[in-house]
Structure 1
């Protein structure tokens, strides 16, 4: 067997390690995506493994690029399960043969309750998902919401599921003068949205909310979207065209976080969105829905009942009108974010890996 891992145990708050021969630690994800939440988590996880000198490999799908998504899901499942041998699979992808599955994408059966579709990919996901939850030795859910959905829809023993909230690299604000100049911004307050998949993540609802905000502001929408023309036209219908900036995908998102005052994310379904933690870390006052697992760590003030909860309008108006309260809320967000570092997440994740190997 290959040496990759060091037996972990806790001494106070730190891990110490002893050499040990075990199965190969293999991380699974179907595709690379610079802007995907799960892919960014995988990058952060692998970086921490490197820092701790833990040997691992990542297997991506070797399928043809032009293959339909539902066939890619089947192909990848066959690719990894037929070649598992003595490898220990820590999967961030839906496959039927994981040792540990991290349910960062949530529960597809629950997601489908928010979206009706006949896409064959949904049927493939449901087929794999049922077997995956059953076959996994351990499941890591990134919120209690996801844990409860796994139990509800698949009858999985609650003791098989460990909740480990997401973690991010904790940062300080960066200079944003160049993007301020790029978009001709003055001293307006900034409301921000970051994320691809506008329909599920509530951009339409966000536009309807900001259309009713009275104070002076700019709403910046960052993310890739195939139907961007629909949203641009919708700003015209709502008469907020001059207040909204669509940037497309950006690699310098930290500059926008640093510049923003409020982060608005009225998603319809989200297991636990990293962008909320990131925005909080950069001192943005966040608003998101109960359908987002990250709502479990937020004060009640910052949680919307659903994507159509218009009570958030009064809160936004109040924050934009009162700098003292706005700054107090910003500091509160920063303090909460400090509890959710990627280092803490990896420490808890490695503990689950070690317990499962034993």
Structure 2
């Protein structure tokens, strides 16, 4: 049997699923006859850590990145990380660290181990990102704007690999009028669902203002996600009503998508923005029409559905798009939803993502 490629995935923690779910899927589905996957994180805390342990692969608890200051001791701390990489004899390191930290990539460089990182969000803002990128062997991008905005002079380093989902976990959901959490809607209600952690960049107020302007008593809005932030509390204070329901964080998102007639992602074109949002893809894979703001990441997901994109931060444009879908015949809406389902099923599969990652790793190892 040929030697398996010893592959290390690094991620700070598993406090939430987020990137952890992507790492989980990569480790679970990668060809174990060719690869020996390991995971390294900073600590064992986090609700998702037990799920990661269930994979049965080696998990290393080690600080694979370090603070820059004090500068006088930085070389020694970087060399300590390098020693860990060398001792374990990793063939490739793939980082899912979301910060601009370059100490991990520097340690990998010193250890002579090919280093890959996935750029997850549209933030940049400091030189550390450039240094991290220069030290990397390859950079994985997850939307079409990243290369032109961040890596236009690094063509040889960039690999475009969208995050994949297990399509078999989804399927076109039958419309329901009450869900397992006790929420009910009438048969003639038009239900809008948005799923997000409620922070300002998500632009939920754009959706709520648009709904308010439509002024239709049959329009129901479900906002699903962590609503403990000050931003969320202010939204609840201003908009919560019989028509606008804040559910808080929920795990059973399918039961909310099943209520929905349309899913909306109104992220603003500012700050960290989106890399590749997963919630709208899950909505498409559940057979729901998706409306989204015309920004990086979302543009890729709705590339064949230009009429379903609205100008970011524009209450008026989102209002028009909502009214467009509301005025559709049920058969028209179902046809559009089916087209979105087929697009997502063909373009965002875990199988396609795994194949592209395996090809990347094999090429790195052979070179």
Q: TM-score band, normalised by the shorter chain? A: 0.7 to 0.9
Post-superposition Cα deviations, 1:225-257, rounded to whole Å, max 9, x if no partner, equal 322321101206xxxx22111111111112212
5+ unaligned residues in a row in structure 1: which ranges? Answer: 1-18, 66-70, 110-125
Q: Give 1:89's aligned residue.
A: 93
Q: Give 1:3's aligned residue.
A: none
In structure 2, C-alpha distance between the alignment counterparts of 1:33 and 1:320, rounded to whole Å: 38
Is the 1:173–1:254 Cα contact (8 Å) retained in structure 2? no
Is the 2:13–2:44 Cα contact (8 Å) retained in structure 1? no
Is the 1:222–1:249 Cα contact (8 Å) retained in structure 2? yes
In structure 2, C-alpha distance between the alignment counterparts of 1:263 and 1:197, rounded to whole Å: 16
In structure 2, C-alpha distance between the alignment counterparts of 1:159 and 1:72, rounded to whole Å: 26
Q: Give 1:314's aligned residue.
A: 320
In structure 2, C-alpha distance between the alignment counterparts of 1:275 and 1:61, rounded to whole Å: 27
TM-score by length of 1: 0.78
**Equivalent of 2:290, from 281, 286, 301?**
286
Q: Give 2:116's aligned residue.
A: 100
Q: What is the RMSD of the two structures over their aligned residues, measured on CA atoms?
A: 2.9
Q: Give 1:248's aligned residue.
A: 248
User: Cα gap change, 1:309/1:45 in structure 2, threshold over 3 Å: closer, same or farther?
Assistant: farther
Q: Which moved more, 1:252-261 or 1:306-315?
A: 306-315
User: Cα gap change, 1:62/1:335 in structure 2, threshold over 3 Å: closer, same or farther?
Assistant: same
Q: Per the alignment, in what secondary structure is the counterpart of residue 315 of structure 1?
A: helix
How far the C-alpha of 1:174 sits from its partner, in A, is 5.5
How far the C-alpha of 1:341 sits from its partner, in A, is 0.7
Alignment of 1:1-358 (within 5 A): 19-21=1-3, 24-36=6-18, 38-49=19-30, 54-62=35-43, 74=66, 81=82, 83-85=84-86, 86-87=89-90, 88-93=92-97, 94=99, 95-96=101-102, 97=105, 99-109=115-125, 126=126, 128-151=128-151, 156-170=153-167, 171-173=170-172, 179=179, 182-187=182-187, 188-215=189-216, 216-225=218-227, 226-227=229-230, 228-235=232-239, 241-268=241-268, 269-298=273-302, 299-308=305-314, 310-322=316-328, 323-339=330-346, 340-358=348-366
Q: How many residues align?
A: 311
5+ unaligned residues in a row in structure 2: which ranges? Answer: 47-62, 69-76, 109-114
Post-superposition Cα deviations, 1:273-311, rounded to whole Å, max 9, x if no partner, equal 111111111111111122231312422112222132522
Is the 2:281–2:301 Cα contact (8 Å) retained in structure 1? no
In structure 1, C-alpha distance between the alignment counterparts of 2:312 and 2:213, rounded to whole Å: 17
In structure 2, C-alpha distance between the alignment counterparts of 1:91 and 1:310, rounded to whole Å: 41
Q: Per the alignment, in what secondary structure is the counterpart of residue 200 of structure 1?
A: helix
In structure 1, C-alpha distance between the alignment counterparts of 2:325 and 2:178, rounded to whole Å: 26
In structure 2, C-alpha distance between the alignment counterparts of 1:301 and 1:285, rounded to whole Å: 11
Q: Give 1:15's aligned residue.
A: none
How far the C-alpha of 1:264 sits from its partner, in A, is 0.8
How far the C-alpha of 1:133 sits from its partner, in A, is 0.8
Q: Per the alignment, in what secondary structure is the counterpart of residue 223 of structure 2?
A: strand
Is the 2:13–2:43 Cα contact (8 Å) retained in structure 1? no
In structure 2, C-alpha distance between the alignment counterparts of 1:320 and 1:182, rounded to whole Å: 25
Q: Per the alignment, in what secondary structure is the counterpart of residue 140 of structure 1?
A: strand
Is the 2:4–2:33 Cα contact (8 Å) retained in structure 1? no
